[in-house]
Amino acid sequence: MVFDYDKTVSERADTATATFALGCFWGPDARFGAMDGVIRTRVGYAGGTTESPSYHSLGDHTEVFQVDYDPNERSYRELLELVFAAHDPHQQPTKTQYQNVVFYTSDDERRVIESVLEERGQSIDDIATRIEPLDVFYAAEPYHQKYRLRNHRLAEQFADYDDEAFRESPAAATLNGFVADHIDSDDLGSNLRALLTDVEAA
């Protein structure tokens, strides 16, 4: 059923990608994966200069999460508003690994960031949250991807998926949010509701 669900959603070429950092990446990965219009999520490292970072050798990178979203259902502006509502932009953890960062990949995205901040009575120069261009995104190790789901029995439904397929699965992104209580079972797609019923009946 997860495979059937994954076949029905937008291809990655038809989505846009946004990258943010809001502390430990497990939480926002699940929270944003449960949102309407968000198709895929993944976690990783960005913002530093260390080549090929890993969790135990992070260097100057920060834990980040990426969302692939359908621009026809969810705008970059809406994602930004949710990000700024999820943290205090005037506070910044001292540890680089868990800092708050909004990355942009185009001048248009930077202008949207400036506009959202202006609406909040703020500017890039007077907040602690880092606003910077995305250079390179390094995917985190498989055991970090869809962390809440990976530690739930629903993960057994992905037995035929390799690490990359699991990381990039829309079904995994949604179910990761469900396991973390960010989405109600009534709001799951029909295929995922049927899967949940089968698993609970087993």
pLDDT tens track for 90-145? 999 999 999 999 999 999 999 999 999 999 999 999 999 999 999 999 999 999 99
Which pLDDT score is estimated for 154? 93
Closest CA to 138 of 112, 110, 167, 109: 167
On whether the 2-201 domain is CATH 3.20.20.70, my answer is: no
Instruction: State the catalytic residue, choosing from 24, 124, 136, 194.
Output: 24
pLDDT of residue 176: 96
Would you state the pLDDT for residue 11?
82
CA angle 44, 48, 54 (to 5 degrees): 45
134 close to 19: Cβ distance less than 8 angstroms: yes
Q: Is 145 helix (H, G, I), strand (E, B) or coil?
A: coil
| Domain layout of the chain by residue ranges | 2-201
* CB distance 72 to 83 below 8 Å: no
Specify whether 24 is catalytic: yes
Asked whether residue 202 carries a pLDDT value surpassing 70, the answer given is no
Mean pLDDT in residue range 147-160: 94
Q: What is the pLDDT of residue 111?
A: 98
* 8-state DSSP, 10: P
Straight-line distance from the first to the last Cα atom of the chain, in angstroms, rounded to the nearest whole number: 15
Mean pLDDT of 145-171: 95
